[in-house]
Amino acid sequence: MDRDRIERVSLRWLRRLVIAGFLLVTLLPFWYMLVLSVRPIERLLLDPGSLLVPAGELTAATYVEVLKATEDGGQGFLTFIRNSGLVALAATALTLVVAIPGAYAVSRLRFFGRRQVHALFLAVYLFPSIVIAIPLFVVFTRAGLRGSLVGLVLVYLSQTLPVSVYMLKNYFETIPVSLEESAAIDGAGRLGVIRRVSLPLAAPSVMAVALYDFMIAWNEFLFALLFLVDRPNRWTVSLGLSLLSDGVEVPKTVLMAGSVILTLPIVVLFFASERLLTEGLTSGAEKG
Amino acid sequence: MTTTAPEAGRSPTRERPRPGRRPLTLRRRESRAGLALVTPTLLVVVAVIGIPIVWTIVLAFQRVRLATLRKTGLFGELTLDNFDRVLHTPGFAGTLWTTLVYSVGGTAGSILVGLVAALVVRRPFRGRTVVRASMLLPYVAPVVAMTFVWQVMLDPQLGIVNDWGRRFLGWDTPIPFLSQDSTALWTVIAFEAWRYFPFAFLFLLARLQAVPGELEEAARVDGATPTQQFRHILLPQLMPVIALLGVLRFIMTFNKFDDVYLLTGGSAGTEVVSVRVYQFLTARTDIGAAAAQAVVLAVVLIVFVAIYLRFFARRGEP
């Protein structure tokens, strides 16, 4: 056999092996999380190496405990879920309201400073969030916004805005200008054109951006920690999980149930948005 | 398409100009509409990001503590005390070094793993979509959940890694991966590579799929083996993307707070600069010093990126 044959055959096998390895390494932590969340802690201590739930161990008590309110002896994750949901939805809605006109302007209209907008976003995005956090911490402390979810929504809005504008702008640019012009000839004003023509055409991309914004806001940790740490009834799921896992009082299996609750919506949304993104891209290609 | 589209067709509005007033030209009307539509975006970015950045720099030169916050004016006396305090607090140089090792390690690790991942899923096979999607999971899942799972997996008592290590690999004692100096930093770097390789993977896969097939066919006809094709055809094509990823990931890792804070809290020799800023801010409630430390972080980052662009990025250009 020559070198080419040897390499081809061995690489073919290596490739299968590596793919299997990647699947194992990426999925194992998720599987482990799921398994631990349905095992009682006493059993886990006896047999920590099991990757399957041994017969008769399956329990949902961990989920009951983690979701129950603190007054009823639970960990209050229902409240956290409500907080996270509210903050993430509000931040997503606000981001879209602000980003859609902004992205349209940057993609379609010539105005003074249009080119600079880009550079500004990029520069701003590369600064560490801890740098921004200090003055916000000061301002929110003074304005009494610390411990309020409104302040957090405002911060998340600013965090997701640059990328949202960028993604929407790219999509608006693929919509033929002639469509907008014909709407304008039919008597639509500028906002009418955006609302009736550009937005419906960009719907898949708007959905994808919305999902992105929601995921960022749902996952965020640092600002939630800085602003909400003293107010347990305002904690988000991320913050609640991290603060409770610092202590030793709450069993790890109960916290694993909490972390399944934190992760599950994101994984579901991710698989939904992956399809959406590809659909959005291909439909754009057909029409453009 | 992107460059010609905005020039081709313009502004839809065509109302008659009101009498007695000079009509605005189409161009000016467009400019006004553009500014009006982009203003909310600009306001938010300037108010919540731009001003705070400038303000941090001002705070770094002021004497501000959380306790005296209400008495301090916006532009109080300027002083260099904060920098003095930051530079002379024990562990300053160590923190900087840790941050550098962590950033370089995390960047290199995630790009390398991402490159391997992109190479193996490059050509179609059954189940490819599922494999690709699951490879992205570590990146999209919430950081708090992922760090928690890693913590439990690596736990000396109830973690699966130590259990298997003792059962199958013959370890005598459990290894406290995240709490001993010799392993903590490397574990954090491994986490970084695991969590962020999908980012590099996405970029590299997109680039790989744009490499024209004729290039490799021609090389194959000329007798190049697969590894030679990779070395002489694919790698040069990928170099610009790898260089770009290097800058992006380095900046992001350098600024990172969540991962290290959640995994180790900055103990066992893993204190990076952003965790230190956080400690100044909350544990010592020394806002001035926190701001000074943050400014040091930003300045060091700018210097590193400038050096990188000067010496390395140029080589990657086609």
Task: State the distance between the two ends of chain A, measured CA to CA, in whole angstroms.
Answer: 50
How much is the pLDDT for B76? 66
The answer to whether B309 faces chain A, any CB pair under 8 Å, is no
Does B59 contact A134 at a Cβ distance shorter than 8 Å?
Answer: yes
Is the CB of residue B151 less than 8 Å from the CB of residue B143?
no
Structurally, chain B folds into a number of domains equal to 1
Residues of B in contact with A112 (CB under 8 A): 31, 35
pLDDT under 70: residue ranges of chain A? 1, 120-126, 275-288
Q: Which chain A residue's Cα is nearest to B40?
A: A98
How much is the pLDDT for B74? 59
CATH of the domain at B241: 1.10.3720.10
How much is the pLDDT for B317? 46
Is the CB of residue B82 less than 8 Å from the CB of residue A157?
no
The answer to whether B154 faces chain A, any CB pair under 8 Å, is no
Q: What is the DSSP letter of B178?
A: T
| C-alpha neighbours within 13 Å on the C-beta side of residue B247 | 19
Residue the block writes with tokens 């290596």: A14
Q: Provide DSSP, B80-129.
A: SHHHHHHHHSTTHHHHHHHHHHHHHHHHHHHHHHHHHHHHHTSS--TTHH
Does B225 contact A263 at a Cβ distance shorter than 8 Å?
Answer: no
Is the CB of residue B6 less than 8 Å from the CB of residue A107?
yes
* Reported confidence tier of residue B197, pLDDT bands at 50, 70, 90: very high
Q: Is residue B274's pLDDT more than 80? A: yes
* Reported confidence tier of residue B67, pLDDT bands at 50, 70, 90: low
* Reported confidence tier of residue B7, pLDDT bands at 50, 70, 90: very low
How much is the pLDDT for A288? 32
The answer to whether B231 faces chain A, any CB pair under 8 Å, is no
The structure tokens listed for A104 are 């349209």
Per-residue pLDDT tens over the stretch B200-242: 998 898 888 888 888 888 888 888 888 888 888 889 889 988 9
Dist CA B190 CA B123 (whole Å): 27
Tell me, yes or no, whether B87 lies in a domain. Answer: no
Per-residue pLDDT tens over the stretch B69-120: 666 555 667 778 888 888 887 888 888 999 999 999 999 999 999 999 999 9
Task: State the distance between the two ends of chain B, measured CA to CA, in whole angstroms.
Answer: 24
Does B294 contact A26 at a Cβ distance shorter than 8 Å?
Answer: no
The residue among B7 and B248 whose pLDDT is bigger is: B248
Q: How many CB atoms lie within 10 A of CB B236?
A: 11
Residues of A in contact with B49 (CB under 8 A): 124, 127, 132, 158
- Bin B155: left if φ > 0, else alpha if -120 < ψ < 50, else beta: beta
Name which of B37-41, B47-51, B75-79, B116-120 the model is least confident about. Answer: B75-79
3-state helix/strand/coil string of chain A = CCHHHHHHHHHHHHHHHHHHHHHHHHHHHHHHHHHHHCCCHHHHHHCCCCCCCCCCCCCCHHHHHHHCCHHHCCCCHHHHHHHHHHHHHHHHHHHHHHHHHHHHHHHHCCCCCHHHHHHHHHHHHCCCHHHHHHHHHHHHHHHCCCCCHHHHHHHHHHHHHHHHHHHHHHHHCCCCHHHHHHHHHCCCCHHHHHHHHHHHHCHHHHHHHHHHHHHHHHHCCHHHHHHHCCCHHHCCHHHHHHHHHHCCCCCHHHHHHHHHHHHHHHHHHHHHHHHHHHHHHHHHHHHC
Picking from A229, A132, A222, the residue whose alpha carbon sits closest to that of residue B275 is: A222
Tell me, yes or no, whether B255 lies in a domain. Answer: yes
Question: Is the reported ipTM for this assembly greater than 0.90?
Answer: no
Q: Which chain A residue's Cα is nearest to B3?
A: A173
Nearest-CB residue to B13 (from A33, A117, A189): A189
Tell me, yes or no, whether B152 lies in a domain. Answer: yes
What is the average pLDDT value for chain B, to the nearest integer?
A: 83
Expressed as residue numbers, the domain containing B229 is 92-316
Which of A131, A219, A227 to mutate to probe the B interface, most B CBs <10 Å? Answer: A131
Picking from A256, A228, A269, the residue whose alpha carbon sits closest to that of residue A75 is: A256
Does B12 contact A180 at a Cβ distance shorter than 8 Å?
Answer: yes
Dist CA B55 CA B74 (whole Å): 9
Is the CB of residue B262 less than 8 Å from the CB of residue B253?
no
The structure tokens listed for A2 are 């020559």
Does B137 contact A27 at a Cβ distance shorter than 8 Å?
Answer: yes
Runs of H (alpha helix) within chain B = 5-8, 26-45, 51-60, 81-88, 92-120, 128-140, 143-153, 160-168, 181-210, 213-221, 226-229, 235-254, 258-263, 273-282, 287-308, 314-316
Tell me, yes or no, whether B55 lies in a domain. Answer: no
Residues of B in contact with A184 (CB under 8 A): 11-14
The structure tokens listed for A46 are 């006896």
Q: What is the DSSP letter of B230?
A: I
Q: How many CB atoms lie within 10 A of CB B84?
A: 12
Q: Is residue B21's pLDDT more than 70? A: no
How much is the pLDDT for A287? 37
The answer to whether B135 faces chain A, any CB pair under 8 Å, is yes
Dist CA A225 CA B255 (whole Å): 17
Is A282 buried (19+), middle (13-18) or exposed (0-12) by CB count in 10 A? exposed
Per-residue pLDDT tens over the stretch B139-191: 989 999 999 999 999 988 888 888 888 888 888 888 888 888 888 999 999 99
Is B155 buried (19+), middle (13-18) or exposed (0-12) by CB count in 10 A? buried
Does A135 contact B225 at a Cβ distance shorter than 8 Å?
Answer: no
Picking from A220, A139, A162, A163, the residue whose alpha carbon sits closest to that of residue B257 is: A220
Is the CB of residue B149 less than 8 Å from the CB of residue A29?
yes
How much is the pLDDT for B51? 84
Dist CA A190 CA B226 (whole Å): 56
Does B131 contact A23 at a Cβ distance shorter than 8 Å?
Answer: yes
Nearest-CB residue to A130 (from B41, B140, B277): B277
Q: Tell which B residues from 164 to 193 touch A, by Cβ distance under 8 Å.
A: 164, 167
* Reported confidence tier of residue B11, pLDDT bands at 50, 70, 90: very low
